[in-house]
Amino acid sequence: MCAIRLAALLAACGALQAADRPNILFILSDDHTAQAWGVYGSFLDPVVSNPNIDRLAREGALLPNVFCANSICTPSRASILTGQYSHHNGVYTLADALDPKRITVAGRLQAAGYQTALFGKWHLKRKPSGFDTFRVLPGQGRYRNPLLKGPDDWADGNAGGSPVAGFSEDVITNLCLEWLEGRDATRPFLLLCHFKATHEPFDYPERHARLYEDVVMPEPESLYEMGPDSSGRTFAGQTLEVLGKRYANTEGSGFHYPGKLELPEGLDPRERRHRIYQKFVKDFLRCGRAIDDNIGRLLEYLDVHDLSANTIVIYTSDQGYFLGEHGFFDKRMMYEEPLQMPFVIRYPREISPGARPEALVQNIDFAPLMLDYAGIDIPPEMDGRSFREILRGRTPADWRDAIYYRYWQHLAARPAHYGIRTRTEKLIRFYGAPLDMTGAEPEPTAPAWEYYDLQRDPRELHNGYGDPANDGNIARLQRMLEALKTSVGDAR
């Protein structure tokens, strides 16, 4: 009889422990930059409509200083999962793959008894590990009637998959909801919901085809920066005119863009850029609204099934994106727009509604945070650190005062570079060499530096390197950068 009672007591304790461990719903989008969320004080905030992102920001914490370690999809996703910089997890460029044997947050949670699932964009080439089940897009995937592949029909790289009818964000959310409905309700879960949106070609479901139709989109201050000379930047960049050519020749671009854009011959350069920008941003925001719709569906499920109080909900993007700033689109660069990762988190048990912690956080910190919440030791191999105490309103005295960034996939118009960002300044070293990275262009570019005082020049409109007034600050940051590069173990 005593043995039966002891077994029952142990079982009850185990069930209580499982009930106390929070569920984690991690929602990740692609390129859904802070300017397009409507909650970050952007020039687009007056026109953006994302009610469910608004809800998460209102009910949880919005972090204004979250940054990626390498602003391109595949490396950023690898850093999120592994808690490591590119030079430690081996994923440097878009062409690299994540080794399934790597330590990941999913694998650790699975080993600790969590149910784990992944649906949507993967982009890491090799078969996902650490998940009880998954269905992912081959490569970049497509918006309409997406192909999806799982454990039973896996093919490495961008191959494989079977079509599922519908718009990608709706389809991915359907898979998430079906899995939630069939899970073991006695065990905690980690659910990764990875949307394709808002990646180029910025497609959207028909229900949003007329959204923003009669709106003239506000323009960023630097939209009509027509070349490097006005700001003193040291690289050409990818301008909106490149996107305009893709709109005009969709077959050559490899993408199918929604709608049409007429760009008659002889247009004034400013008018041409204006037209490209207006179409681009409207498409981008319509695409983003499909994400918001489906965040709403997920939040509703948690509410209806009494899961909201014990579920950590995170919504973020794999990096930011240029929305016309400096006349650019795309990402990769260490400028603020691609570098910043918008990030909201809701956990009613610990996080005060409306919190806005200012500490410097990176995507290498996401995995340690989730492990911390689950009560699991953080492996020493992870470069990041849990920011749970910061979310509680208590920033540790020894928290980082600068972030390290490195973009490895060298291209002539967007050279390889590394740099340091503090709360108030930024220094970038464009070393411009391919270093045998996969997908890099072989020809090097001239080395260069850029310096920005983010208090006086938050939009990075003037490269202050070479101005004698900045010499002291630049020398100090150069010393800090080399020390930081060494401390994070980047020897190349």
CATH number where 132 lies: 3.40.720.10
186 belongs to a structural domain: yes
214 belongs to a structural domain: no
Q: Using an 8 Å Cβ cutoff, are 279 and 304 in contact?
A: no
Per-residue pLDDT of the chain (492 residues; tens, 9 = 90+): 444 444 443 333 344 345 589 999 999 999 999 999 999 999 999 999 999 999 999 999 999 999 999 999 999 999 999 999 999 999 999 999 999 999 999 999 999 999 999 999 999 999 999 999 999 999 999 999 999 999 999 999 999 999 999 999 999 999 999 999 999 999 999 999 999 999 999 999 999 999 999 999 999 999 999 999 999 999 999 999 999 999 987 655 567 899 889 899 999 999 999 999 999 999 999 999 999 999 999 999 999 999 999 999 999 999 999 999 999 999 999 999 999 999 999 999 999 999 999 999 999 999 999 999 999 999 999 999 999 999 999 999 999 999 999 999 999 999 999 999 999 999 999 999 999 999 999 999 999 999 999 999 999 999 999 999 999 999 999 999 999 999 999 999
470 belongs to a structural domain: no
* Among 37, 27, 26, 25, residue whose Cα is nearest residue 320: 37
428 belongs to a structural domain: no
Give CA–CA dist 469/65, Å, rounded.
Answer: 27
Q: Specify the number of domains making up the chain.
A: 1
152 belongs to a structural domain: yes
Range of the structural domain that residue 186 is part of: 24-207+276-402
Backbone angles phi, psi at 152, to 5 degrees: -85, -15
* Among 411, 408, 449, 452, residue whose Cα is nearest residue 430: 449
Two structure tokens written together for 48? 């953006």
Q: How many CB atoms lie within 10 A of CB 203?
A: 23
Residue 177, C-beta contacts closer than 8 angstroms, at least 6 positions apart: 297, 298, 301
262 belongs to a structural domain: no
453 belongs to a structural domain: no
384 belongs to a structural domain: yes
Q: Model pTM? A: 0.95
